[in-house]
């Protein structure tokens, strides 16, 4: 036995916003002070750092992830160590 589906009802369309009406309706408000520095928008653990994004082939990504799980160290920590190693390797040539 099948039951009839109820028709879908949608809410009424909203009235377009007019800046003049908004200005009349809004009470006088003092403007918010501007954000002082980058610290307000960046997590403390990321302050003073820059992001690096790259894509690995699946097999290398799996190896990195497996190494992370096996050693109990986060992937970003392993990548920081690898970056240090790479930069020290090429620092001799400068």
Q: What are the Cα distances from residue 92, in Å, to 10, 15, 51, 82, 85?
A: 68, 67, 25, 16, 12
Chain segment 36-56, per-residue pLDDT in tens: 555 468 899 889 999 999 999
Range of the domain at 91: 56-94
pLDDT at residue 21, rounded to an integer: 58
Q: How many domains does the chain have?
A: 1
Q: What global pTM score does this model have?
A: 0.52
For 20-67, give the DSSP string.
HHHHHHSPP-PPPPPP-SGGGTS-GGGTT---------HHHHHHHHHH
pLDDT at residue 53, rounded to an integer: 92
| 2 domain residue, yes or no | no
| 43 domain residue, yes or no | no
| 65 domain residue, yes or no | yes
| 10 domain residue, yes or no | no
| 20 domain residue, yes or no | no
List the chain residues with pLDDT less than 70: 1, 17, 19-40, 93-94
| 66 domain residue, yes or no | yes
């Amino acid at each position: 036995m099948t039951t009839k589906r109820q028709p879908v009802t949608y809410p009424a369309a909203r009235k377009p916003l007019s800046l003049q009406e908004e200005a009349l309706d809004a009470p006088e408000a003092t403007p918010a002070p501007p954000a002082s520095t980058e610290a307000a928008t960046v997590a403390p653990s990321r302050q003073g750092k820059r992001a690096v994004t790259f894509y690995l082939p699946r097999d290398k990504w799996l190896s990195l992830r497996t190494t992370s799980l096996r050693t109990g160290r986060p992937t970003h920590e392993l990548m920081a160590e690898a970056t240090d190693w790479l930069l020290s390797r090429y620092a001799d040539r400068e």
